[in-house]
Amino acid sequence: MSEGETAKSKGFRGEMIAVISAKGGVGRTVVTTNLSVALSKKNVKVGVIDGSFQFGDICLALDLHPTFSIKDVVESIDELDSFGLSGFLMHHPSGVKVLAAPDRPEYADLVTPEVISKACDLMLSQHDYVIVDTGVGLHEKNLHIVEKADQIFLLTNLEMATMKNTKLMLDTLELLGFQSKVQVVVNRSNMESVIQASDVPDILGVEIGLYIPNQFQIVSQSLNVGIPFVVNEGKSDVAKAVFKIAEHLISRREITFFKPKTPNFLQTLFSKPKVL
Ligand SMILES: Nc1ncnc2c1ncn2[C@@H]1O[C@H](COP(=O)(O)OP(=O)(O)O)[C@@H](O)[C@H]1O
Ligand SMILES: [Mg+2]
């Protein structure tokens, strides 16, 4: 990425990734935290929004002790600019900056679509990637997040109930016209189940390229101590899978940056006619 294209540029907008699932406990927080830290190792600026506004646990998973949260965005929404927002972000040693969820569930109601929009826009003006963890399902707040996102990572695992709900969620996202932004990520892809990872593309009717293996001890230990496994278990299969997703995102972004730009309508209209 060239200097002129980093998050510091005026009018810059980073890439927003929403991490969603149709059921709780599928791994949104694990993926959000580890993917953000994996990306930050690639010399890009990464921000995280804890969009699980009632029971957010991003800070717990990163061992951060939030003094500010999105509730502070609510309280200063009219005058807030990107400088003001920076003051509300929690700094992880990896370089990842986190906009925490409110510290009490009852404050979640204060986070209106307007607040979500402003928080996302300000975060995107300062970071190459903004990854948003979410609450379960497709309620109003999540719909707002997925609408704003450039990419939606829909997490599933191989459990029958998760698969059924993932299928319903995919259908709904398709109805809403978001299909092209959705990538299904199969988490715990080698867990014991009647459904095999290889069955998932047929069940869901989509191609799947992103799989994260099941390594319960490493993952649960990492959550309990608040150190992402990509930090100190970087050679584990689960960390390698997350690094691969980070690579995939970076390479996509480079392709977008270096793709020759197609001229816009006005450029075409005023371009010199070719001399034959
Ligand atoms: N790849 C994985 N391998 C093993 N266990 C996992 C994996 N991903 C998540 N888990 C476990 O699943 C549980 C729920 O993960 P979490 O990220 O908190 O889910 P969510 O945020 O979707 O509710 C955690 O206890 C975690 O240890
Ligand atoms: Mg969570």
95: left (phi over 0), alpha (psi -120 to 50) or beta: left
Please report the pLDDT score of residue 3 as a whole number.
39
CB 29 within 8 A of CB 133: yes
| Closest-lying ligand 1 atom to the alpha carbon of residue 238 | 1
CATH homologous superfamily for 3-270?
P-loop containing nucleotide triphosphate hydrolases (3.40.50.300)
Q: Is the CB of 154 under 6 A from ligand 1?
A: no
Q: 20 vs 28, 92, 94, 104, 186, CA distance in Å? A: 6, 23, 23, 21, 12
Ligand 1 pocket member 257 (CB < 6 A)? no
Task: Give the mutation target among 21, 28, 30 for probing the ligand 1 site: most ligand atoms within 8 A of CB.
Answer: 30
Give me the phi and psi of 47, to 5 degrees please.
Answer: -120, 150
Residue type, 25: G
Q: Is 34 in the pocket of ligand 1 (CB under 6 A)?
A: no
Q: Distance between terminal CA atoms of the chain?
A: 38
Rg (CA), the chain: 19
Q: Output the DSSP codes for 26-54.
A: SSHHHHHHHHHHHHHTTT--EEEEEE-TT
Question: What is the distance in A from the centroid of ligand 2 to the CA of 114?
Answer: 23
Q: What is the pLDDT of residue 255?
A: 61
Q: Which residue's alpha carbon is at the smallest distance from atom 16 of ligand 1? A: 27
For residue 30, the ligand 1 atom closest to its alpha carbon is 17
What's the CA gap between 70 and 46, in Å, rounded?
A: 17
**What is the DSSP annotation of 77-97?**
TTT--HHHHHTTPEEPTTS-E
pLDDT of residue 172: 97
222 lines ligand 1 (CB under 6 A): no
Which tens digits make up the pLDDT trace of 54-94? Answer: 999 999 999 999 999 999 999 999 999 999 999 999 999 99
CA of 222 to the centre of ligand 2 (A): 14
3-state secondary structure of 244: helix
Distance separating alpha carbons of residues 66 and 83, to the nearest angstrom:
18
Closest residue by CA, ligand 1 atom 23:
25
Assess whether the C-beta atom of 26 lies below 6 angstroms from ligand 1.
Answer: yes
Ligand 2 mean position to 29 CA, how many Å? 4
Closest CA to 136 of 92, 114, 98, 168: 168
Q: Which residues pair with 132 in a beta bridge?
A: 18, 49
CB 61 within 8 A of CB 33: yes
Is the CB–ligand 1 distance for residue 99 below 6 Å? no
User: For residue 51, which ligand has an atom nearest its CA?
Assistant: 2
Q: Is the CB of 46 under 6 A from ligand 1?
A: no
Q: If you take atom 14 of ligand 1, which residue's CA is the nearest one?
A: 25
- Strand ranges for 86-232 from DSSP E: 90-91, 97-99, 129-134, 151-156, 182-187, 210-212
Residue 40 is encoded by which pair of tokens?
């930050």
Nearest Cα to Cα of residue 164 among 21, 28, 52: 21
Reading the chain (276 residues) residue by residue, the pLDDT tens digits are 443 445 556 689 999 999 999 999 999 999 999 999 999 999 999 999 999 999 999 999 999 999 999 999 999 999 999 999 999 999 999 999 999 999 999 999 999 999 999 999 999 999 999 999 999 989 999 999 999 999 999 999 999 999 999 999 999 999 999 999 999 999 999 999 999 999 999 999 999 989 999 999 999 999 999 999 999 999 999 999 999 999 999 998 776 655 554 554 444 444 444 444
pLDDT at 271: 47
- Nearest CA-CA partner of 52 in 19, 80, 82: 19
State whether the beta carbon of 187 lies less than 6 angstroms from ligand 1.
Answer: yes
